[in-house]
Amino acid sequence: MTLDRPAILGIVFGVIIGGVYIALQRNALRQKAAAPPPRGVVALVPGAAARLLFLIVAWWLAFALAGADRYWLTGALVVTYTAPLLSQLKELIFPKK
């Protein structure tokens, strides 16, 4: 199986977008843990909305302007985003002794 240019672009941009998104998400979680609890859920909405807007705009730009294959782009993004979360979940379920 050979990958064509749009598939390779999809993988590359998906990994980049997923990596940036998970870095932003983990940074927000660290800041939330270090700060005093916010006043209600509404205080958390602007950060979450900004990260989601980044994800949507970056995905669309990679798809529309760079010509990346949407399936490879989405797949690479999902794998890149969920891999650190799954390893973190594994550490919670099976802690090191």
Task: Report residue 36's pLDDT band, with 50, 70 and 90 as the boundaries.
Answer: confident
Q: What is the domain range of residue 26? A: 5-93
76 pLDDT above the threshold of 80? yes
Count how many domains the chain has: 1
Task: Please check the confidence at residue 5 and state whether its pLDDT lies above 80.
Answer: yes
Size of the chain in residues: 97
Q: Calculate mean pLDDT across residues 39-58.
A: 83
Global pTM reads 0.80
Q: Kindly list the distances between the CA atom of residue 57 and the CA atoms of 54, 65, 69, in Å, as whole numbers in the listed order.
A: 5, 11, 16
pLDDT band of residue 30 (cuts 50, 70, 90) is: confident
For 53, the token pair is 């807007």
At 44 the pLDDT is 67
